[in-house]
Each structure stands twice: as C-alpha cells, then as structure tokens.
Structure 1
C-alpha cells in the first residue's frame, strides 16, 4: 500500500510539474508582436468589445486555475468542447487503465499466493482476490499463467502512466493557448500588411562560389 501511494504521488507530482511548466512556458512566450502602447492596445480591445483591463496574464492564470476558463475569458467559446473533450477522453482512459491495472494486480497476487501455498502448504494469503482472478481467466483464457497476468498488469500500468502525463501535457497546452490568444487580440492583422521578398546578389570571397540571397520584410 505504501509503495502504491508513493507511486501515485510521483505521478501526480509529474502532472503538477507539467502544468506548472505550461504556465512558465506561457509566461516566457515572446508575443508575436512588439509591445504596444497602452493607448493602441486599449483602442483595439474596445473595437472588439473587450474591457480595457483584459490582459494575457489574467487569461493565463484563469486557464491554470480551471480548464477552459482562459478560453471563456477570451470569449473563444468554440474552443470549450475541444478542451473538455480532450481532457475528458484522456482522464477517462487514465481511470479505465487504473481500474484494469488494479484488477490484474489482484489477480496476479492471488496466482502468486496460490503458487506459494502449493509449494509450502497452507492457505492462499490472497484468497480474497479469487473473484478477480476468475474474472481475468474469463478474459484471457483458463490456462493463463501468473507470468501472463503480470505482463498484462504491467501493460495497463504503463498505459495509465502515459494517460496521466498526457493529461498534464494537454492541460499545459490549453494554458498556452489562452495566453497566446489573449496576445493575438491586440495583434495587428490589418489587410494592409504585406510581405516583401527581395532577392540580392551576394558577392563571393576569393576562392568560393557566389550565390543569391533572399531577404523578406513584413510591413505596410
């Protein structure tokens, strides 16, 4: 029991670490536009119907506090089904694999206890898991060995761990999405923006080959 508790603490510690890493990553993300004067930022927020105090930092902390809150803060309601469907699917699979792991772990304990009882005499110290053992035999065959049951148990454990990590990664991505989307609200995407490409001839130093160099610039 103590070993299982320590393992779960490590998993949830890893999950929390991933979420915190997402917060830090969002905080360090360089905006796609240079810092804008407050007057320009306020004007663009007003034009889109947002309050003047709408900031990426507030979107970040809301997204970190509750999944989807950052998207609601940004009024991007269309993203909510994707946020909750993604998190719900991953969490569902994590819980399912945990339940399967627990089933096969108890079945394996019963098989090990029975082998010990056959060798040393006495009763099976895991006799309370006989029903789980029979359930597993109905799934994988009556002739399944303890080794096969243990392999299945380990497979479900790995899948559960991956789902727990996946939950943290997906949660961190929703935080980054809310933060970056809040920045994009005041990003200038006017129709008068253009990309200009200027090919230039690059003279070659003595003993090397010349080449063509292209430079590009985003401007109005």
Structure 2
C-alpha cells in the first residue's frame, strides 16, 4: 500500500519537476519604429520569358544565349563544340569529293587522276564510302551540339531564376523527450529556398 501511494504521488508530480520559471521578461506591447516600404526591397521578379529568350538567342547565334545568361566562360566551349565537328565535316567532304572525282574520271576513261598506281577502282569506292560516312557523322554531331547549345541556354535560364543563398546551416540542438523526461541530442540541416 505504501508503494502504491508513493508511485501515485511520483506520477502526479513528475511532470512538474521539469517546469521552471521563465527568467526572460515578456514585453506585452510591441513597438513599431517605422513602416518598411515594400519598394525598398530589391527582389528579382520572376521572368517567365527568360528561358525562351535565352533559347531564342542561342538559336539565332550560338553562344548568345550563354551571354544573355551571363555565363561568358561557356561561349568558347560552345564554339569549340560546334566548330570541331564542323571542321571535320568540311575536311571529310573535300576528301570525299576528291575520291569521287577521281573515280568518275576513271569511269569516263581518263587515267590522269592523282591516285593512278596508288589506289584501284575498288579502293576509290571504299574511300568514298568512308569519307561520306565520316562527313555525315560530323554533320550529325554539329547539329547535336547546336541543339545542346540551345538546351543549355534554356536550362541555365531556368536555373538562374532560383535564388539559392549560401545560408545553409547545420546546427546541433537538444530536444526534450517528454515521454522519458530526458534530453535528446540531434542535428538539423536547414535549407531555405526563396
């Protein structure tokens, strides 16, 4: 019986053991010094046309969309990515035309091309086929890099609209576990996206 009364008293008053008086005075009246003008805040307005503009500029002139997005370091990469397959396109096209002209002159009965004694007719046909395939592949790569340039400008303009600050915080904190009445430790990661 003594144990039951003791347990009942402990259960009734265990919640009050952790209650303490607040040592911070509470000011009941809120005082406002001055009103804040909403025009004084510099907010970047959402521009829904910015990705479309960047894509359009990049379609008109490769690299212009990157300049619109202020990613000037990407402009040489764009021209390198588009210019390299374009160079190989023209190089393979000129070689293809040389082998094709030599083969056509042999079919016409002339024996004065630059490959006499070096390449047979079958070799000229194979060389034409090789350089035509390389030329077509270079053209596809040029078109693909041109499209990637437009996509890059569009995606970057979309991502520029997100205001992600460097205000990431990882703070340790204590949490009161009310069921056991003990402190629990933990970490919290706060990420604020405006």
TM-score for the superposition, normalised by structure 2: 0.60
User: Residues 63 and 69 of structure 1 are in contact (CA less than 8 Å); yes or no, is this contact kept in structure 2?
Assistant: yes
Q: 1:167 aligns with which of 114, 118, 142?
A: 142
Paired residues for 1:174-213 under 5 Å: 174-192=149-167
Q: 1:67 aligns with which of 62, 65, 78?
A: 62
Q: 2:96 aligns with which of 91, 101, 105?
A: 101
* More displaced 10-residue stretch of structure 1: 60-69 or 183-192: 183-192
Q: Distance in 2 between matches of 1:44 and 1:159?
A: 48
TM-score for the superposition, normalised by structure 1: 0.54
Q: Shift of the alpha carbon at 1:151?
A: 0.1
User: Residues 45 and 185 of structure 1 are in contact (CA less than 8 Å); yes or no, is this contact kept in structure 2?
Assistant: no
Q: Does 1:149 align with 2:161?
A: no
Paired residues for 1:117-136 under 5 Å: 124=109, 127=110, 131=112, 133-134=113-114, 136=115
Which stretches of structure 1, 4 residues or more, deviate above 3 A after TM superposition?
191-194
Q: Return 5+ residue gaps in structure 2 as ranges.
A: 1-41, 170-189
Q: Shift of the alpha carbon at 1:192?
A: 4.3
The Cα offsets for residues 192-212 of structure 1, whole Å up to 9 and x where unpaired, read as 458xxxxxxxxxxxxxxxxxx
Say if 1:179 and 1:143 are closer, same or farther in 2 by CA, change over 3 A.
Answer: closer
Q: Distance in 2 between matches of 1:172 and 1:143?
A: 41
Q: Shift of the alpha carbon at 1:145?
A: 1.1
Say if 1:75 and 1:187 are closer, same or farther in 2 by CA, change over 3 A.
Answer: same
Q: Shift of the alpha carbon at 1:72?
A: 1.1
Give the number of the structure whose residues are more often helix, by fraction: 1
* More displaced 10-residue stretch of structure 1: 102-111 or 157-166: 102-111
RMSD value, Cα: 2.9
Residue 214 of structure 1: aligned partner = none
Q: Return 5+ residue gaps in structure 1 as ranges.
A: 1-41, 47-51, 114-123, 195-217
Q: Does 1:43 align with 2:43?
A: yes
Larger RCO (alpha carbons 8 Å, 6+ apart): 1
- Which has the higher Rg, Structure 1 or Structure 2? 2
